[in-house]
């Protein structure tokens, strides 16, 4: 075939272009096929593209080169970070779009994946900040935290609660790593969600199994942990892969090419089985800063193998928000049809900030844990991220309508994991909307938003006014409103001032009322004319007995051991062993009772004795035994915490002690705390116990607690 070249007087650039096009027209088709192929092997010679899109006023051309993809933008001199200006109107060129489309179509064929949040948009990526998917990893990454452990039953409970809160994904564990996670996924197939686990509304459809790429030198179909992911039968897989060259060669001990092959083989195998695959790019940010070329090759291979989401992991937690934002925007340009995710650790205290910055730059999926639990210093805290995105960024999330349940979810997870909730946690902590300064409280009386960025009710929390020596009169008045409502009281201001002065005097002695609101409540009641407490302790005594006077080391060594049969050293008759009760308390109480015959209020005295594991435990049991016959509602009250603090250590054994006791009503789940100070720790404990039981009876008492002088 003879080819004629025609010259047109339009300039040399146009001539060269025409010549190239005519020459390519006569090349054999097999050569076209070879030119169009992509390869991930031989990573340092991967084919590249270079595209120039210059405008008439451009002063300098900027080109970002990535394997298989090229993106360009005009960059005037003096503006080196053009990518920070956004990606809405960037010029993007990609090749092999037909392959990408077929990949999405292949994934959509799976019925179990057709309702997956990552696929419902077809070949459109989820892009923040307008929309973000929430990926919870409390049950997987969260359980790697120190002193955190969850049984299989615990994980099933938390999974149900997370699904009820409408998170998009629940990463429940690594089925190939331990028997407990394998059991969870086996039981989840029948115990989570509806009778049909393929029902889109079932909890099971939200579950994600975690695993790693196939091992070196083994076929993916023969890798046991890959098969464990398949056997889990969950629709979504999150696969971790190394994305830092140093980590690949030194930690994984593989070549860079081997790592790319492992990524490709693992993802393509699972996608071929109808799974939706997210890839956790471990050490992504550190790797990107060290060698962005290789990291982008890992991403390209993952996308071409069928990954639906590229998750950028700040594994060591050392990235800064401005770095995250810049790199995220570059990733959005490089992979416009793929959802970009982020998973941040909190080693620098930046996990929440990095996650929010990432979503603002285009991240469409945020990973984190409830209350930020996790390895070392923890993960990104979803209890901060979700409301921050909802209220301050106006991001659309599936769980946005469930935000009034956020505080309950936070405390539920802490309870199941046997953790003490953080009082200072943003949004969900008991101190998140607590106000102490008098000027602050006075201002909030006029407008609650004067010292709050959102209304606490929006996240299921509530505002609290703290009482302390720094409080003002308005603090006490607000507390009085909680007790008596908004009823008019001309003496309210004077009474509030008297109570405030009493509070300041007590705090000078060592009391603290910030965490003991029940004691403040009772103080207000006792300052009210006519109030009569529902019971009165007339006297008490406590005995402690012990026959073993050995040193602590020998007691601990022999604690709980049974003496050999026939031993000559017998325990004294009538004295318990070290594992039984060691104290006995006697309490005499006077209660108010209604005579069923005369319908009159009468006094009734009760004397009760109880043994316990120490004098305070014995006193609590004796007091409960004396009160419960006349006040059966106390049967649902339990003690959940007991704290003692020495206020003046220099006084040695004569030091004043502060006792704080926390109570809970198991029926209403309401909790309250009381405080007392005394140089006798037993007396301080009894006073805190009495206040706690009295507070419990305020709403449940069967008789009016007003004396006759209330009607004078």
The predicted-structure confidence for 361-407, as pLDDT tens digits, reads as follows 999 999 999 999 999 999 999 999 999 999 999 999 999 999 999 99
- Could you give the strand order of the β-sheet that contains 535-544, starting from the edge strand earlier in sequence? 535-544, 583-594, 601-612
DSSP per-residue letters across 163-180: HHTT-SEEEEE-TTT-HH
DSSP symbol at 534: S
DSSP per-residue letters across 606-638: EEEEEEESSHHHHHHHHHHHHHTTT-GGGGGEE
Q: What is the pLDDT of residue 698?
A: 78
**Helix, strand and coil in the chain, % to nearest 5:** 40, 20, 40
CB atoms within 10 A of CB 272: 12
Q: What is the pLDDT of residue 82?
A: 29
Residue among 369, 469, 363 nearest 409 (CA): 369
Mean pLDDT of 612-627: 91
Average pLDDT value over all residues in the chain: 75
Q: What is the pLDDT of residue 423?
A: 85
Summarised one tens digit per residue, pLDDT across range 583-605 is: 899 999 988 776 667 767 777 88
C-alpha span between 229 and 258 (Å, rounded): 21
C-alpha span between 138 and 510 (Å, rounded): 40
Summarised one tens digit per residue, pLDDT across range 659-696 is: 888 888 888 878 888 888 888 889 989 988 988 888 88
Note the pTM of the prediction, 2 decimals.
0.61
Q: Counting beta carbons within 10 angstroms of the beta carbon of residue 163, is it exposed (0 to 12), middle (13 to 18) or buried (19 or more)?
A: buried
C-alpha span between 693 and 624 (Å, rounded): 8
Q: What is the pLDDT of residue 519?
A: 65
Residue among 396, 412, 355, 359 nearest 378 (CA): 355
Q: What is the pLDDT of residue 614?
A: 87
Q: What is the pLDDT of residue 336?
A: 93
Mean pLDDT of 290-299: 94
DSSP per-residue letters across 353-411: HHHHHHHHTT--EEEEBGGG--STT-B-BHHHHHHHIIIII--B-GGGGGGGGHHHHHH
pLDDT band at 37 (very low <50, low <70, confident <90, very high): very low
Q: Counting beta carbons within 10 angstroms of the beta carbon of residue 206, is it exposed (0 to 12), middle (13 to 18) or buried (19 or more)?
A: buried
Q: Which residue in this structure is represented by tokens 């210093």?
A: 377
Q: What is the pLDDT of residue 512?
A: 57
C-alpha span between 579 and 28 (Å, rounded): 91
Mean pLDDT of 58-62: 39
Ranking 42-46, 307-311, 344-348 by mean pLDDT, the lowest is 42-46
Ranking 268-272, 414-418, 529-533, 685-689 by mean pLDDT, the lowest is 529-533
Which are the contacts of 554, defined by CB distance < 8 A and separation ≥ 6?
none
Contact (CB, 8 A) for 618 and 626: no
Residue among 546, 596, 551 nearest 575 (CA): 546
Q: Which residue in this structure is represented by tokens 């999926």?
A: 365
C-alpha span between 688 and 659 (Å, rounded): 7
Q: Which residue in this structure is represented by tokens 């909030």?
A: 444
C-alpha span between 548 and 543 (Å, rounded): 16
């Amino acid at each position: 075939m003879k080819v004629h070249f025609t010259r047109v007087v339009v300039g040399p650039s146009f001539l060269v272009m025409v010549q190239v096009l005519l020459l390519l027209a006569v090349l054999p088709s097999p050569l076209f096929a070879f030119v169009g192929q992509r390869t991930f092997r031989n990573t340092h010679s991967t084919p590249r593209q270079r595209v120039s899109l210059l405008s008439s006023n451009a002063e300098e051309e900027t080109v970002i080169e990535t394997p298989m993809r090229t993106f360009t933008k005009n960059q005037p001199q003096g503006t080196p970070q053009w990518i920070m200006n956004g990606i809405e109107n960037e010029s993007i060129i990609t090749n092999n779009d037909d392959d990408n489309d077929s990949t999405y179509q292949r994934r959509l064929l799976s019925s179990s994946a057709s309702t997956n949040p990552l696929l419902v948009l077809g070949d459109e990526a989820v892009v923040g900040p307008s929309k973000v998917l929430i990926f919870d990893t409390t049950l997987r990454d969260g359980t790697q935290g120190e002193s955190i452990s969850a049984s299989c039953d615990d994980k099933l409970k938390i999974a149900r609660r997370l699904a009820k809160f409408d998170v998009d994904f629940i990463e429940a564990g690594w089925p190939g790593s331990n028997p407990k996670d394998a059991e969870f996924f086996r039981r989840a197939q029948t115990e989570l969600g509806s009778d049909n686990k393929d029902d889109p509304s079932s909890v099971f459809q939200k579950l994600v199994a975690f695993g790693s790429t196939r091992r070196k030198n083994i076929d993916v179909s023969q890798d046991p942990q890959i098969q464990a992911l398949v056997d889990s039968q969950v629709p979504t897989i999150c696969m971790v892969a190394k994305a830092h060259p140093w980590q690949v060669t030194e930690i994984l001990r593989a070549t860079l090419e081997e790592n790319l092959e492992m990524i490709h083989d693992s993802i393509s195998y699972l996608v071929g089985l109808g799974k939706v695959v997210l890839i956790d790019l471990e050490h992504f940010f550190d790797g990107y800063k060290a060698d962005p070329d290789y990291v982008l090759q890992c991403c390209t291979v993952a996308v071409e193998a069928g990954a639906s989401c590229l998750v950028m992991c700040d594994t060591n937690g050392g990235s800064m928000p401005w770095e995250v934002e810049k790199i995220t925007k570059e990733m959005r340009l490089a992979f416009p049809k793929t959802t970009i995710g982020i998973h941040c650790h909190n080693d620098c205290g930046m996990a929440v900030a990095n996650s929010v910055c990432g979503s603002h730059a285009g991240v469409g999926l945020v990973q984190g844990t409830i209350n930020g639990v996790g390895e070392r210093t923890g993960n990104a805290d979803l209890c901060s991220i979700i409301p921050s995105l909802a209220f301050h960024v106006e991001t659309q999330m599936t769980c946005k309508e469930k935000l009034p349940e956020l505080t309950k979810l936070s405390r539920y997870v802490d309870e199941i994991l046997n953790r003490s909730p953080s009082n200072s946690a943003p949004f969900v902590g008991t101190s998140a909307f607590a106000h102490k300064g008098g000027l602050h409280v006075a201002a909030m009386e006029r407008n609650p938003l004067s010292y709050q960025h959102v209304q606490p009710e929006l996240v299921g929390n509530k505002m609290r006014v703290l009482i302390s020596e720094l409080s003002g009169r308005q603090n006490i008045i607000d507390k009085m409103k909680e007790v008596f409502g908004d009823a008019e009281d001309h003496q309210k201001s004077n009474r509030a001032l008297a109570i405030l002065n009493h509070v300041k005097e007590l705090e000078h002695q060592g009391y603290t009322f910030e965490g003991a609101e029940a004691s403040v409540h009772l103080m207000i009641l006792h300052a009210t004319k006519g109030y009569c407490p529902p019971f009165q302790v007339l006297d008490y005594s406590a005995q402690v007995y012990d026959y073993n006077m050995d040193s602590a080391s020998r007691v601990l060594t022999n604690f709980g051991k049974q003496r050999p049969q026939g031993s000559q050293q017998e325990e004294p008759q009538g004295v318990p062993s070290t594992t039984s009760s060691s104290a006995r308390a006697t309490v005499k109480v006077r209660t108010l009772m209604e005579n069923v015959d005369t319908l009159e209020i009468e006094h009734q005295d009760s004397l009760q004795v109880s043994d316990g594991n120490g004098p305070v435990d014995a006193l609590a049991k004796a007091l409960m035994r004396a009160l419960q016959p006349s006040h059966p509602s106390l049967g649902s009250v339990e003690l959940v915490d007991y704290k003692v603090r020495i206020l003046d250590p220099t006084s040695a054994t004569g030091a004043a002690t502060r006792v704080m006791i926390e109570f809970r009503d198991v029926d209403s789940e309401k909790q309250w705390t009381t405080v007392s100070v005394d140089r006798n720790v037993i007396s301080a404990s009894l006073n805190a116990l009495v206040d706690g039981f009295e507070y419990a009876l305020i709403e449940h008492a069967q008789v009016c607690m007003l004396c006759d002088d209330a009607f004078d």
